Structure 1
Amino acid sequence: MTISLTEGARDSATLLRRNLKHLVRYPSLTLTIIGMPVVFLLLFVFVFGGTMGAGLPGGSATAHPRADYLHYITPAILVMTVVSVANSTAILVAKDSTEGIIDRFRTLPIARSAPLTGHVLAAMAQTVLGLLVVLAIALALGYRSSASLAGWAGAAGMLLLMGWAVTWLCVALGLASGSVEAASNAPMPLILLPFLSSAFVPTDSMPTGLAWIAEHQPFTPIIETLRACLEGSDPGSDAWWAIGWCVLVTVLCFRWASRLFGQVGKG
């Protein structure tokens, strides 16, 4: 059976509504997902911010190290918000694949990609909500940006592109895990990698080997691009590296997820 592009979009929208209804029915899931980056923001600003802010380049010369550190880590916390939402998607996809719902979808006259696309679109909606909440809290704590409208647009685009990439990665991990329990742990590197980047401290403050790893992993150019956009400066080559990583991850993980989706319930 051939499904047209319009019918495929309609099927994806239908399954998007299904996933959004699940999120509305279980608001505690969304609160937990958004709560983690909020806790990180408050923890790093109020517990570590005085010391960490003084250690930033030029930080020792300012009378407000905690405010400096809030300005430094807000882009990193926005990235962790995106990652937090994507991690939950792996669990939801694994739940569908192990409970037989995907087998049921496969018997229906709908677009093959619709069940997965519905999860991804719902995750993107949840990502936008999470980003707005975290940014509002950062602003309430005193974060201010000197970005122009173009800078804000660039930051938003970077976050959404990254969200699209890591969500497809987590969809694939959810399908590959084989159980909800395994899916809850599979995306753990996505939570750990920001700590090995320029998220919380400049890479030049790290030992040589660790600094090389931090500078050549995907999260560092993404975070540096966000910082530049929100500071109203030119991200330079960081933007191209960030976009390249996101496109590469999206293409590879979309193909991986599509292949795994065709194998669910077989063998």
Structure 2
Amino acid sequence: MDPNFDFTGYSPECIDAMKVLDYVVTGGNGTATVRTPPGQVGGGNVFNAICDAVNQGGEICNIETTITSFDAECEAEVIGTELVDLMDGEEPIELQLVQVTKSGSFDVSTTFDVCDSNGEPIPDLEGITVNGTIDLENTVCEAPVLMCCPNAEVGDTIDCSILEDSSTISPVGTRLDCSDDPGQNGLFITYLFTICQALQCSEEVKLEVMARPCRPRRPIIRPTQECIFEPMPNPCSRVFPTMHDNDNNGNW
């Protein structure tokens, strides 16, 4: 703290606050294969054209995938304790072993081209987009996390929130089923993804601080919109009214 800080108007106050005991960001990895039926692959006869191109030595190429939305949540539960040597010269510390589980799903959008046998994109089969949904239940592998939550017991839950912007996904394989079986044919894309989460355990504490009442800021005055005066139209000003030659004499 700045030793020159002016404490005028401040006084010791006791406040309730949440002290963060431990905070960590982790992630769970998973794989999933999403099937897109033929009618949803570009529409029309696009799927058949893809099958023809692949049968002639072509392949699906230039694949890009993004996560478009989340409808998911996570839960973190203390499942035990573990004595850990932090290698800091002090006695081992007892940490809580926390297991994360996820539920819900997220939506993905994938765009790809179909390349010929020479690796060149086929003009009519570029920029094809398919959409799908990945279910998180039983698809994510979560390693237990060690956390310092001394007042948590086995069965207690820890605050857990999914970090959507930090999560990633990559397509790792594609498969085409060009058969006539309506329940089995289509485009299959396999994804590898990492869904990140923030874990935090907190404890309510009372703190003594130097404080003063918070004053409101000055209001921002909204600018006044001035009305603009429109001049009287006078398109005939060059011909009327006009001054007579003898106007200097006061006559019209």
**TM-score bucket of the superposed structures, by smaller chain:** under 0.3
Q: Which has the higher helix share?
A: 1
Question: Which structure has more RCO (C-alpha within 8 Å, separation ≥ 6)?
Answer: 2
Q: Which has the higher strand share?
A: 2
Normalised to the residue count of structure 2, the TM-score between the two structures is 0.21
The structure with the larger Rg is 2
